Amino acid sequence: MAASMLQLSSAFTSVIPEPTSMIPSRQPSLSLRNMRARRSGGASSLSMLGNFFNSDPKKAAVSKAKYETVVVPPDFRLAAGFVAGGAALCLAANNYAAGVPIGLIGAFLALQTTRVRFEFDADSLEVKILKKDGDAETLADSGDNFAVGGANRWKYDTFTNWEMYPSPSLPILVYFKETQTIPEGQIHFFPVIMNGRKLYEIMEERCPRLPRD
């Protein structure tokens, strides 16, 4: 009997939980942690949504805008027009006094068309000279500007105005004004001995100008 009571007492003791297991755990329950995680995720989503609506699309576009280097291809039409005009004055009107100088201007423009290039890079317009070494072609520095001095390179953000004369559809001269050479603004004129349409498109995209009427 005593042995039976001892076995019963031992069995009862074994099913009683340890005292430490009765102490509530300080760690948050699984459901509480899930709730906090959901709140954190919701806050992050709201923050991202707010940033999306508060972002400035113009600033984003500027930060992404990186211009590629473009060399405007040559165009001999202006030179050919002067040569043809000079020849017509000489042959048809016997006006050599006017025809010869005009023809010489056309010949000079033809020479410049073979060697002068307008290069638009990431931040500037630069006038370069085409150099040939056998079949290889490279663009070299054109040196200082013969009229006003300084490099023939101007940053886009120094442009204050530009225009094509007499019109973009019939370009003979391209004019632009920049403040890089002198703060008051320096004016430049170049004959359009390159693809006028391409030149207009690139300058319209990259170079500031006064508002058109």
pLDDT value of position 35: 56
Contacts of 145 (CB under 8 A, 6+ apart): 151, 152, 181
E strand or H helix at 171, and its extent? strand 170-178
Over the stretch 86-110, which tens digit does the pLDDT of each residue have?
999 999 999 999 999 999 999 999 9
pLDDT value of position 77: 98
Residues of the chain falling short of pLDDT 50: 1-25, 30, 43, 46, 49-50, 52, 55, 57-64
pTM of the model: 0.68
pLDDT value of position 21: 44
Contacts of 173 (CB under 8 A, 6+ apart): 164, 165, 189, 190, 191, 192
pLDDT value of position 3: 44
Over the stretch 101-148, which tens digit does the pLDDT of each residue have?
999 999 999 999 999 999 999 999 999 999 988 889 999 999 998 888
86: nearest Cα among 76, 74, 95: 95
